[in-house]
A and B are shown apart, each in its own frame.
Chain A
């Protein structure tokens, strides 16, 4: 089953994502950006990732906050897969014991 509004969302997501792939190559080929534009381009992905996970930092459950801190420390020194496994394990165990 494919819902119409879901399909529309998916098609629009796909179009804007592909546009970012093509436009970077087409528009920025052989050119250099100004320093402000470069700064915004460099900061943008990080700002967006943070804005999406921000509610995790504002959680009112101690177990989730401690698990997030553990995950944060893991992320500073480990690669993707071990960090995810540690994050999941920490959240699962802490929620089990702290609720």
Chain B
């Protein structure tokens, strides 16, 4: 049977979508293995900050942005500084704006009502997998993207919940060095964003500002001051192409 015949038969569209979805699920397995330790650490840290085993998967399932959740838990107080956490969440996830823009040309043939729900499952990894697959096969497979995205989302939510449930049994995760997982994750993400010393100058401004404000001003002001100083310096240092 030729592929043209397959394409014209409406009823085979679904099985093809299912096999593409399964291909996405399978491709996500190694990434899922990488997710598990972070999910456990995040859940355990969240439990230490007073979040319940129900609240943790609620956050990780609805928000689904690991970096912002690590930051939120890091800044968590009881009651939480809502405005600060929400602003940091937005800033950390602002990279999604660029990621969505990069996907847009591949999605132009698809209706918005299908794309918008699917974009909920766009994380760094599912985005990278979807784009790499689209480049290799010269067409974007929405079912593959969804398979990978949903597999990663479910894994993240389930294992952060497990982390929150067993965290209190493990005790103080800091004594074993587990808190170093946060900067480690962030440093690897930064390495991935590194495009050279020139482009990283605003990062240096952020780092120096953050350290100074952290040492001399009480509270969590260092985050806002540092992020803002970095953004302003990137605006001022921008070179016309």
Contact call B59/A58, Cβ cutoff below 8 A? no
Contact call B85/A80, Cβ cutoff below 8 A? no
Q: How large is the interface on B (under 10, 10 to 19, 20 to 34, 35 or more residues)?
A: 35 or more
What chain B residues lie within 8 Å of A41 (beta carbons)? 94, 97-98
CA distance A94 to B80 in the complex (A): 32
Contact call A54/B214, Cβ cutoff below 8 A? yes
A-B contact count (CB 8 A): 291
Does A52 have its Cβ within 8 Å of any Cβ on chain B? Answer: yes
Give the shortest distance, in Å, between A11 (CB) and chain B (any CB).
7
Interface size on A, residues (CB 8 A): 75
Contact of B234 among A44, A74, A83 (CB under 8 A): A44
What chain B residues lie within 8 Å of A49 (beta carbons)? 67, 92, 186, 189-190
The 10 closest A-B pairs by CB, nearest first: A24-B100, A47-B230, A91-B177, A54-B210, A92-B177, A51-B226, A39-B238, A28-B101, A43-B234, A24-B97
What chain B residues lie within 8 Å of A51 (beta carbons)? 206, 209-210, 222-227, 230
Contact call B177/A88, Cβ cutoff below 8 A? yes
Contact call B186/A39, Cβ cutoff below 8 A? no
What chain B residues lie within 8 Å of A84 (beta carbons)? 37-38, 180-181, 184-185, 188
Contact call A45/B92, Cβ cutoff below 8 A? yes
Chain B residues packing against A (C-beta within 8 Å) = 33-34, 37-38, 51-52, 54-55, 58-59, 62-65, 67-68, 70-72, 74-75, 79-80, 82, 85-86, 88-101, 103-105, 107-108, 112, 115-116, 119-120, 122, 175-191, 193, 195, 199-200, 202-203, 205-207, 209-211, 214-215, 222-227, 230-231, 234-235, 237-241
Contact call B55/A3, Cβ cutoff below 8 A? yes
Contact call A46/B193, Cβ cutoff below 8 A? yes
Contact call B238/A44, Cβ cutoff below 8 A? no
Contact call A6/B177, Cβ cutoff below 8 A? no
